[in-house]
Amino acid sequence: MELLKQKILKDARVIGEDILKVDNFLNHQLDIELLNELGKEFYQIFKDEAVTKILTIEASGIAISAIAAQYFKVPVVFAKKVASRNLDAETYESDVFSFTKQTTYRIRVSKKYIQKEDRVLILDDFLAKGKALQGLAHIIEEAGATLVGSGIVIEKAFQDGGKVLREQGMRVESLAKVKKMENGIVIFE
């Protein structure tokens, strides 16, 4: 998606060879106008899939999911990362290793909010090693629901998450695919 690529080239910062900081528009400060265009694009891509629910993961997947959901006219469910007194005891769970934080965390979704009949679209801000997507897909499978695919804002295509998930048969659609980052420059596929 050209608009997103231009935004990345203009406002993202590359640190080393693997960190792409987009916290001025995507995951700390949110450029709502841009998110709106991304949400519309996800709708264009998945509009024929009869999506009944969008599933994402806290915290940085929530904004794009909420905005996109306006076009799909479906609820969003976000997986929670920590056990909370207020979360329902009856949950689907999955363990996710975060390479960014070098730690494994547990994600949880209340069983009430994903039903067997649901056609679920996963949305998230980043795809790198694919562990978060795998965890979410696992939860959808546990629920007996249908995963129609995953919409990703930025895929780090130089890591193997996207490749592995596509080989496993998941439909993964990324709005920007980063081929590599070198000397502070982002090169798209």
Beta carbon nearer to a copy of itself, 35 or 157? 35
CB of 147 to a copy of itself, least distance (A): 17
CB 156 within 8 A of CB 133: no
Q: Is there binding between residue 128 and a copy of itself (CB under 8 A)?
A: no
CB of 67 to a copy of itself, least distance (A): 6
Round to the nearest angstrom and report the end-to-end CA distance of the chain.
Answer: 12
Q: Which long-range contacts (CB under 8 A, 24 or more apart) does 35-39 make?
A: 35/63, 35/64, 35/67, 36/67, 37/1, 37/3, 37/4, 38/1, 38/4, 38/64, 38/67, 38/68, 38/153, 38/175, 39/64, 39/67, 39/68, 39/69, 39/70, 39/71
Smallest separation, CB 167 to a copy of itself (Å):
28
Pick out residues in 30-69 that bind a copy of itself (CB under 8 A): 30-33, 35-36, 58-59, 62-63, 65-67, 69
Are the CB atoms for 140 and 109 separated by under 8 Å? no
Asked whether position 168 contacts a copy of itself by CB under 8 A, the answer is: no
Exactly one of 47, 112, 163, 166 binds a copy of itself (CB under 8 A); which one?
A: 112
Q: Footprint of a copy of itself on this chain (CB under 8 A)?
A: 19, 21, 23-24, 28-33, 35-36, 58-59, 62-63, 65-67, 69-70, 73-78, 80, 84-88, 100-101, 109-110, 112-113
